[in-house]
Amino acid sequence: MQVHDSLVSLIGDTPLVRLRNVTEGLSGQVIAKVEYLNPGGSVKDRIAVKMIDAAETSGALRPGGVIVEPTSGNTGVGLALVAQERGYRCVFVVPDKVASDKVNVLRAYGAEVVVCPTAVAPDHPDSYYSVSDRLAAEIPGAWKPDQYANPGNPASHYESTGPEIWAQTDGRVTHFVAGIGTGGTISGAGRYLKEISDGRVQVVGADPEGSVYSGGSGRPYLVEGVGEDIWPDTYDRKVCDEIIAVSDKDSFAMTRRLAREEGLLVGGSCGMAVVAALRVAEKAGPDAVIVVLLPDGGRGYLSKIFNDDWMRDYGFLSATSDEATVGDVL
């Protein structure tokens, strides 16, 4: 029988899919690495299993232990999935800008979720960084993976994401484009691709306008999971050849186009990364093989990016836009 005993063994080995419509008029190939096909629905499954394996080996996480982590949702799902299989409890701390659908998903996996304000400084006692530190210190048997500092985060991408992209493109990849949150994806996969290609592969980071990676001050933006107001240890500042800043408006417009024109129902950071990849393709020649990583699926954003009222409230969709539907006109 073809049966998997463990969901965790299905993490990784996600497919590459060519973008065929949003690329109209561009000569090079733009290829998506579709990470929502991981069992927990995002790229973060990869780091979850790697960080937990390492903590078990080092003794930081013991049988019956509690995993405490500040997470925007996807890392939480990955951790909850592995924790469930191995008998750990999970307590997650999330900022209040995270869609309620995502929080409900974490609770559905059996995790406890604490919601904190987004609009406070990282060192404020109510910030999601501070609250998670406090809980990790107070709860007996707690272990904090700390995806912003855990070397297992970039290492998982160095060991899995990068080699997969190299093998799947038969070594023909010329550019790797990914959004930067903790920086784990771009630092790990980017470093691998640089090393294996003797520096030939160009590594391009995509960043929300206002975030520190593209020279901002941490000004608020609405795209979730990417951009920072601090510089995490997991981000290798040497790995990116270029960083492209993308507005929320452009990110969300592309996210909607990916669903309608490519059949890819994905999250806002995917739209952001694709905008950056298309900007790379505009400059690169016809031989370019641009791989863009799409971190998660779109179902967690139905009440935001895929909701016309929400988009209009923020000025991301005008009443006269070509996305207006029959219902708008009647």
The catalytic position among 44, 50, 194, 304 is 44
Decide: is 152 part of the binding site for ligand PMP (CB under 6 A): no
Decide: is 40 part of the binding site for ligand PMP (CB under 6 A): no
Do 295 and 78 contact (CB within 8 A), yes or no? Answer: no
44 in catalytic set: yes
String of contacts with ligand PMP for each residue 282-311, x by CB under 6 A:
-------------xx---------------
Size of the site for ligand PMP (CB under 6 A): 17
Closest alpha carbon to 234 in 161, 302, 185, 291: 185
Considering beta carbons, is residue 253 or 266 the nearer one to ligand PMP? Answer: 266
Considering beta carbons, is residue 33 or 44 the nearer one to ligand PMP? Answer: 44
| Distance of alpha carbon 212 from the chain centroid | 17
Residues 230 to 269: which contact ligand PMP by CB under 6 A?
A: 267, 269
Decide: is 162 part of the binding site for ligand PMP (CB under 6 A): no
**By CB under 6 A, which span of 22-30, 166-174, 183-191, 244-252 interacts with ligand PMP?**
183-191
Decide: is 160 part of the binding site for ligand PMP (CB under 6 A): no
Q: Among 29, 182, 202, 255, which residue interacts with ligand PMP (rule: CB under 6 A)?
A: 182
Decide: is 226 part of the binding site for ligand PMP (CB under 6 A): yes
Supply the residues annotated as catalytic. Answer: 44
Residues that bind ligand PMP (CB under 6 A): 44, 72, 74, 179-185, 224-226, 267, 269, 295-296
